[in-house]
A and B are shown apart, each in its own frame.
Chain A
Amino acid sequence: MMRRRASWPALAILICASTIAAQGLDPARLLGPPTDAWPTYNGDYTGRRYSPLDQIHGGNVGSLTLAWAFRQNTRGPAPGAGTIKATPLYVDGVLYYAAPDHAWAVDARTGREIWHFAWETSGGIHIGNRGVGMLGDTVYFETPDCFLVALDARTGDLRWTQRIADVRQEYFCTPPPMVIGDNLITGVGGDSLDVPGYLQSRDLETGELRWNFNTTPRGDEPGAETWPNAESMEHGGGMTWLPGTYDPELNLYYFGTGNPNPVYAGHSREGDNLYTCTIIAINPDTGEMAWYFQVSPHDTHDWDNVETPVLIDGVFEGEERRMLAQAARNGYFVLLDRVTGEHLLTTPFIETLNWSSGVDALGRPRPNPDKEPQPDGTLVSPAEPGATNWYAPSFNPDTGLFYVHATESWAIDYVTDTGDNPQGFAGMAQQLYARHLLQAVDYRTGTIAWSHRYSGSGGTRSGLLSTAGGLLFAGDPTRNLIAFEPATGDILWHVPLHAPVSNGPITYEMDGRQYLVAGAGDMLYAFTLPD
């Protein structure tokens, strides 16, 4: 009877709602821990990459077996598109991910391609794409030429596009858009021509701009006193190329900003160069800054500070606190109170670090001016790729340990443009020796609880994943996907793949089974326990 009396609009709403429930991503699922969905880049808003799933555990991980493998076909000439750096999203039986100019939906039961969307590029640096964002039945991703693209999650059909930056000015775009409430948060990248960084909120339905936050000041805005003049701020960099984390109760979004520009030449931008290389807390509905903490004042080594600010709830010096931790590219582990931004701890997580002369009264690493790049070269540790980089860390509340892939390395850093008005990178770093580590950091003290030094050479590009099954998954610098015991660092399981793990592994429950999915080169691999 009710049904017969329902008006057409009401019926339409019912039909829409049931469609969303069946195939789309309900906003409420963004707030939960990642179990039967991996709905955001880090699995949930905390950035911990910790799953409460425990079907796969230390006692049975040795019997993990291949469920399927998927090889992507980019069918295009775009260089760099072949490596999967994206963390896939998992929603209702489907994995969604992107590479530069491409996006896919893959059947999570079989590894079969459901759809493939290819973008006709107008240029841009094709260094990587970190993945997609999703809400309802819309999938969002950014392209190297800085378009925000919205796709129908069911078919891969194009819904709309919005240009979010000018590729002609050497911006390029890699991060997954983040859905927070009514906001689609987008970021930008680009170091080649001293463009200024910004973070934006876009409308979920249309992509129209809701607010814009410049990461360097304009005019006499706060922070302007840390630059010599207006031109240096307007060309000061501070990119926003990795997604941040979010505390729904505080309604604060936390993200890190990239290095200042010109990159290696600091002599035309004397000062701390706010808000580059800074952790920023922002109200996602208004774009207003609540607090900031600068992790690399006046950086001259290309050490973007965009690494994930991981949310930790726990005890610090006997007191329950809501905190935020970051292992920064400059080699320091930083712990802050995420309510106020109060500094709690700053400690190095590599042993070779030589660019800093210690920590200042505010808890910020203090750069040693003698280790700034010079025309005849300066020996610097870590090297330009940093003590860590974009690959995701993990925090395991069961062990209280923060895990990060780290590198102890050296480079010779040069200024090549010594004029009064240097531009672009204005220098270079020549890489020397590097060794690769998995570091387990005690968040309460910053001490290294255990450290695993990989035997293999090559870079580490893998993100990390912790689970309640007492497992820590990581890819090594060669081709192995490894399960570590998270309290001790003992190796419990490994499998060699065809290429090094190149993204952050994820886990989810489907049909009552726990799956582990990792990207390596141009392939996704799914593992589960045998029947």
Chain B
Amino acid sequence: MKYMLLIHSAATDQAAACESSFEDWQVYDKAVKEAGILVDAHSLADLTTATTVRVDPSGERAITTDGPFAETREVLGGYYVIDVPDLDVALDWAARCPGARDGGSVVVRPIADFGA
């Protein structure tokens, strides 16, 4: 069973704390790989580099970038996709993730399986 762990960081005043835990991330990443459960994982570049595209019914393309309010919200900073037997195991891996600490959170979403 595949689950995506969506890692949300807290507002940017926590950034310093995140940087100091770089080693924690390395340890976690290594643990996920060695457990043989890793399907995919990426960190996302800073939110200020993001661009949003919407297409209205007439086919008009609207491109926006996120405003200055972005810093006050929880921001998706990266994800893991892991393959584990059940939700309890997925929740345990989420709890071990450094992104779940220091005001951050990890949302665990099962990957939809349309074959079942």
Chain A partners chain B: no
Q: Which residues of A contact B (CB under 8 A)?
A: none
Q: Which residues of B contact A (CB under 8 A)?
A: none
